Amino acid sequence: MTNERKIVNDPVFGFINIPGGLLYNIISHPLLYRLTRIKQMGLSSVVYPGAQHTRFQHSLGAFHLMSEAIAQLRSKGNEITQEESDGVLAAILLHDIGHGPFSHVLEDTIVKGISHEEISLLFMEKMNKEMNGQLDLAISIFKDEYHKKFLHQLVSGQLDMDRLDYLRRDSFYTGVIEGNIGSARIIKMLDIKDDHLVVESKGIYSIENFLTARRLMYWQVYLHKTSVAYEQMLINSLLRAKELASKGIELFASPALRFFLYNNIDSKEFYRNSTCLENFGQLDDNDIWTALKVWSNHSDKVLSTLSHGLINRNIFKVEISSDPVSEERMESLVDKISQSVQINKEEAVYLISTSSIEKNMYDPADDSIDIIYKDGTIKNIAEASDMLNISLLSKKVKKYYLCYQRLA
């Protein structure tokens, strides 16, 4: 164990101080360092070439903001012990440790029924055994079992340090300046009332900007139609590879990727068999890209078409609608793709995808953002704001995406 303090130069926040001891040991751990090989924004660089930053950078940024938040809350007379400070800092460092390459893509394909949050917890428990229980408090805060509930809110809530970092960082690396948020200002306005995070009324405009920026970043960046189409291609590639593997067809894959392709891993198996977690901890973006490069020359026309498209940016065509796609339209497209690529209709369904995405940027029922006034009264941001679009932000928007192979 080292007690030497380290300093990291971060392009977004400048110098980040990393204390020695437990927190340094977490940052140096192979499971956290694996996040240096996983991009924060998955396939978004297909639209925003600058989006090359990693989940490790994001974890360090969230850690920095948590340090700032703790200092601010303490300066306002809120008691946070050193043990609690270390616990919540450890929890934010480890909050994304369960992400696989391209994140949600893997959750829907080669691993079924288990979320990255559940895998994060499994990794934290594994590390806790190695560290002789030093992560007990971090795990308790992460699971929202610790009696000071505001600490969990700082890790996972409407104004958590995760969101404050990724919005600021993703805006910086994509160049979408409209998504930039005043994270420092928001943190300075934080306080605690009745074990709940509140925002001083002076900070209301920063919160309005935060909610507006979040909405813009989701629809303009995270759910950009080209990124959605690219992601659907990767999902279909992995599903096709999994189907071929189930028939005993030989596919190139790293040992970790092979494990998930040639075995059916669901939530029950993941919890029962420790080999699942070991293999998952070996997966990163490189496993997927290397496989796709080799698969682009595979004899299976579906797999090679999809893989070649991903490697060379031949992306599915995308149509967005407020209404579901009709059966007739789907059948017509499957027929055309079948003829164009010279494959049967059962295979052609891999070259077409429909999905619906529903999103609202603020749900008071989930975890309200509360504004506190000088007289001690508290109002929900939806009541406190004089901006009309707060009601629009809490309204669910649903879009239907139709993605399909471009016809020759």
**Confidence (pLDDT) at 392:** 64
Q: Which domains, from first to last, does the chain contain?
A: 6-221+360-394 (1.10.3210.10), 225-358 (1.20.1250.30)
**Confidence (pLDDT) at 366:** 64
Over the chain (408 residues), the average pLDDT of each successive run of 10 is 78 94 95 97 95 97 98 98 98 96 82 92 97 98 97 95 96 92 94 96 92 88 93 96 97 98 94 96 97 98 98 95 92 95 95 85 71 93 72 74 89
C-alpha span between 230 and 315 (Å, rounded): 6
125 alpha carbon, distance to own chain's centre: 21
Which residues, 6+ apart, have CB-to-CB distance to 248 below 8 Å? Answer: none
Give pTM, 2 decimals.
0.94
**Confidence (pLDDT) at 386:** 76
**Confidence (pLDDT) at 2:** 53
Q: Which amino acid is at 131?
A: M
